[in-house]
Structure 1
Amino acid sequence: MFTQRRGENVTSNHETTSRESATPGGASRGPGALRVGLVGVGQRAYIAHHVASSDENAVLVAAADTTPEGRGRIAPEFGPGVEVFDSHTALIEHAELDAVIVTTPDWTHAEIAIDFLRAGIAVYLEKPLAITVEDADEVLRTAHETGTKLYVGHNFRHAAVVRLMHDIIARGEIGEVKTVWVRHFVGNGGDYYFKDWHADRSKTNTLLLQKASHDIDVVHLLAGAYTTRVVGMGDLVVYGDVVDRDTHEGETVHDWFSYDSWPPLTQTRLNPVVDVEDVSMMMMTLSNGVLASYEQCHFTPDYWRNYTVIGTEGRLENVGDTAGGVVKVWNRRHEAEWQTAGDVEYPIEGVSTGHEDADVLTMREFLAFVGREEPVTLSPVAARAAVAAGSLAARSLRSGSQPFDVPALSPELLDHFARTTTPAPAAAL
């Protein structure tokens, strides 16, 4: 097993902090607290706040960002007690970490995760695991070879709507699942994904990873198996016609987001490179025979996702995906051909917008995994399955909708990650 490298007790030439365990703002944690670092201080870096709010004995002690703007956000966001570095390698060498949270742009995930895994530092890697199947597999191999803990932040598994749908299926209310359909209306797509690096396929590959990997993973969870064959269709049909472009140097989405940016063709300051699809569709065959589909559109006015799961004894469908929404179940026939009311309806709890509740649960699970060897509900194998399905769907839609089979993982990797994961889908890749 690879031994973690520990730097001598020296400080870098960046901002310094005491080696005493301290939460952001200076509140101390108990002896033996996990020392946690953060890489990438952009839009998703806020999840590092959940280190302090978790029930685990852990503390955020250091953060790194390659940009001066990112480094400048560390103290205001997390407090002056968090040490500042300008690279993830400096963080490895000097911060004496037990674990790290990686929230950098997608194309950097594999390289950064591999470096930390080789250093023996447990990794929380923001989804997607990587932007290609090959890189995803290399991350998994490195975790296996080093024995270092790897956790991928597919937080949507912990969202109230997903847990509710999963419980309905587990109780047998719709029988055995046979097909899953997902429609994803990305109402903020222009602001979220077409004004920075997300719009550049060399950095994202496809929004079927950055955006759809959540839902592909949930399809696998609800259906109880992973995708083995996929076909896609899609195109850039709206945002490619917008000619106003800008680099947004040093900015984050909060600096340019506006609900007044409507209709989509009136958007301004798009990324200089826009070559990812703004509408995508994919169909999946899962290893247990379940058939699934996913559709994504980035120029709709509304922002939510709609699941329909049909089994041998009924179907469920969510209307809304946060608090105030409902999951409806139809499980008997009616004389009327259609009815909007379900035979049973379950209110969705949790937050009213976003997925902060899911973020909290995800971070808590990671820290318990690192600190107390608690098993996790999401295997890196599942994260790889989402990458494989999404990236191959993108290859398909860019190849005249040619179907592609998902390459199998080695038995060694499947066995390694099965030891720390419960429960797992019945069928493995």
Structure 2
Amino acid sequence: MQTLKFGLIGTGYMGKAHAIALRAAPTVFPLSANPVCELLAEIDDELASRKARELGFARATGDWKALISDPEVDVVDICSPNFLHKEMALAAIAAGKHVYAEKPLALTADDAQEMVEAAERAGIRTLVGFNYIRNPASQLAREIVASGEIGELIHFRGRHNEDYMADPELPHGWRTRRETAGAGALGDVGSHILNMAEYLTGQRIADVFGQLQTVIARRPLAEGSGTGEVENDDQAQVLLRFDGGLIGNIETSRVATGRKMGLAYTITGTRGAILFDQERMSELQLYKSEGSKGRRGFSTLLMGPEHPDYAAFSPAAGHGLGYNDQKIIEIRDLVEGIVAGRSLYPDFREAWRINCMIEAIERSHNEGGWVRVAA
């Protein structure tokens, strides 16, 4: 069987999730090529060697550039902080490697566009880790919308709220600095719900009206020498106009006390509606305007083998899937796309659109009006 040898850069939370998915994907899906955990890069040789042993990689290096130039690596998997994505991805493309990167793709839309153009010129396959669209429940929601089962769409409401930065004593770090993170909550978790809005509705977000807020203005410096100013947003709310006539709104936060994985949406149509909450990720709520009025109400659909990708994990409904299973599905799609030589979704071009949306929302906040999305 053909193999695809992966080089992983970064072994934090996301790096570990990617490693789990790489090792598990062949046991879940019949793949056209076997993903191999070939080489791992970290900030120094000692950490890289330890993480390679823990995560099951054959080799390790303390130099990410050595990983990219290594002839045995077919796919460069970027799980580094945001500010490193561009340099690493451009180097990988120049070396003729396919690229799998975490979101957001880049710090700015201009940087993301440069990455898109480089990849497309080189004929490189790219995929960006907007993994929540791989959830069988959200795949089912998209099918229901596309089939017309709930009629013409008239409203989308989405949120992605978490509380990982709600503690004001958490130190100033790369996530709270513009030069290393770019946007704050809007880029980190808001990018997911922006992508989800387009994925589910099949329409493009054309215009935005945004409001941003930094709730915790200063945070302790890690070295204990006072506090530093937080340079990006803690939360945002945005009105949306889609190119197909749909209207809607989203909200996003990293300081939403009590919310752990608060990605949720409501899709309203002329003949029904869909509700979903990622904290109950194996359930979808469906309403249909049919039958007697006294018997109408939202039904709970428990994900099961009749729904997209679920059967590969479990033969019985209601047993549920988990976060890492979404990444396993993502790896399946990446491997099959590379082997077949076809475009992947969301690729660098789609992720560039998210960067354009983020910048339009920030501009809208600064100018106090509607702004057209550039992409």
Q: Aligned runs of 1:16-415 on 2, under 5 Å?
A: 32-46=2-16, 47-55=18-26, 56-67=33-44, 70-71=47-48, 73-79=50-56, 82-190=58-166, 195=171, 196-206=173-183, 207-237=185-215, 239-240=216-217, 243-246=219-222, 272-297=228-253, 298-303=255-260, 304-319=262-277, 321-323=279-281, 325-331=283-289, 342-348=297-303, 355-373=323-341, 375-397=343-365, 399-408=366-375
Instruction: Find the residue that maps to 1:112 and give its secondary structure.
Output: helix
Q: Structure 1 residues 305 and 323 mapped into 2: Cα distance closer, same or farther (>3 Å)?
A: closer
Instruction: Find the residue that maps to 2:208 and give its secondary structure.
Output: strand
Instruction: Structure 1: give runs of 5+ residues left out of the alignment.
Output: 1-29, 249-268, 409-429
Give the distance between the partners of 1:44 and 1:148, measured in 2 at CA. 23
Q: Structure 1 residues 317 and 379 mapped into 2: Cα distance closer, same or farther (>3 Å)?
A: same
Q: Structure 1 residues 171 and 376 mapped into 2: Cα distance closer, same or farther (>3 Å)?
A: same
Q: Give me the TM-score of the superposition, normalised by structure 1.
A: 0.73
Give the distance between the partners of 1:193 and 1:172, measured in 2 at CA. 48
Instruction: Find the residue that maps to 1:190 and give its secondary structure.
Output: coil
Give the distance between the partners of 2:363 and 2:153, measured in 1 at CA. 28
Deviations, residues 20-66 of structure 1 (Å, cap 9, x unaligned)? xxxxxxxxxx5x42221111222211112322322331211111123
Instruction: Find the residue that maps to 1:97 and give its secondary structure.
Output: coil
* Corresponding letter in the other structure for 1:71: A
Q: Structure 1 residues 379 and 75 mapped into 2: Cα distance closer, same or farther (>3 Å)?
A: closer
Deviations, residues 120-176 of structure 1 (Å, cap 9, x unaligned)? 000011111212111111111001111122111211110133113212212322112
Give the distance between the partners of 1:301 and 1:127, measured in 2 at CA. 24
Does the 8 Å CA contact 1:319/1:327 hold for their aligned counterparts?
Answer: no
How far apart are residue 101 of structure 1 and its match? 0.6
Give the distance between the partners of 1:136 and 1:224, measured in 2 at CA. 22
Give the distance between the partners of 1:380 and 1:309, measured in 2 at CA. 27
Give the distance between the partners of 1:117 and 1:204, measured in 2 at CA. 22
Q: Give me the TM-score of the superposition, normalised by structure 2.
A: 0.83
Q: Which one has a larger percent strand, Structure 1 or Structure 2?
A: 2
Deviations, residues 256-296 of structure 1 (Å, cap 9, x unaligned)? xxxxxxxxxxxxx9985522222211122222222221111
Give the distance between the partners of 2:209 and 2:217, measured in 1 at CA. 23
Does the 8 Å CA contact 1:50/1:363 hold for their aligned counterparts?
Answer: yes
How far apart are residue 320 of structure 1 and its match? 5.2
Give the distance between the partners of 1:363 and 1:75, measured in 2 at CA. 19
Give the distance between the partners of 1:209 and 1:95, measured in 2 at CA. 33
Q: Structure 1 residues 171 and 247 mapped into 2: Cα distance closer, same or farther (>3 Å)?
A: farther
Give the distance between the partners of 1:180 and 1:212, measured in 2 at CA. 15
Give the distance between the partners of 1:78 and 1:343, measured in 2 at CA. 43
Give the distance between the partners of 1:119 and 1:167, measured in 2 at CA. 38
The count of corresponding residues between Structure 1 and Structure 2 is: 351
User: Equivalent pairs: percent with the same residue?
Assistant: 23
* Corresponding letter in the other structure for 2:274: L
Instruction: Structure 2: give runs of 5+ residues left out of the alignment.
Output: 27-32, 305-309, 311-318
Instruction: Find the residue that maps to 2:217 and give its secondary structure.
Output: helix
How far apart are residue 119 of structure 1 and its match? 0.9
* Residue of structure 1 equivalent to 2:30: none
Q: Structure 1 residues 37 and 310 mapped into 2: Cα distance closer, same or farther (>3 Å)?
A: same
Q: Structure 1 residues 188 and 92 mapped into 2: Cα distance closer, same or farther (>3 Å)?
A: closer
Aligned alpha-carbon RMSD (Å):
3.1
Give the distance between the partners of 1:222 and 1:120, measured in 2 at CA. 33
* Corresponding letter in the other structure for 2:3: A
Does the 8 Å CA contact 2:137/2:282 hold for their aligned counterparts?
Answer: no
Give the distance between the partners of 1:193 and 1:376, measured in 2 at CA. 40
* Corresponding letter in the other structure for 2:234: D
* Corresponding letter in the other structure for 1:301: G
How far apart are residue 71 of structure 1 and its match? 2.1
How far apart are residue 335 of structure 1 and its match? 7.0
How far apart are residue 93 of structure 1 and its match? 2.3
How far apart are residue 343 of structure 1 and its match? 4.2
Give the distance between the partners of 1:146 and 1:156, measured in 2 at CA. 28
Give the distance between the partners of 1:361 and 1:270, measured in 2 at CA. 44
How far apart are residue 306 of structure 1 and its match? 2.3
Does the 8 Å CA contact 1:131/1:391 hold for their aligned counterparts?
Answer: no
* Corresponding letter in the other structure for 2:275: E
Instruction: Find the residue that maps to 1:144 and give its secondary structure.
Output: helix
Give the distance between the partners of 1:159 and 1:277, measured in 2 at CA. 28
How far apart are residue 395 of structure 1 and its match? 3.0
How far apart are residue 73 of structure 1 and its match? 4.1
Which stretches of structure 1, 4 residues or more, deviate above 4 A after TM superposition? 67-70, 191-195, 269-273, 332-336, 348-354
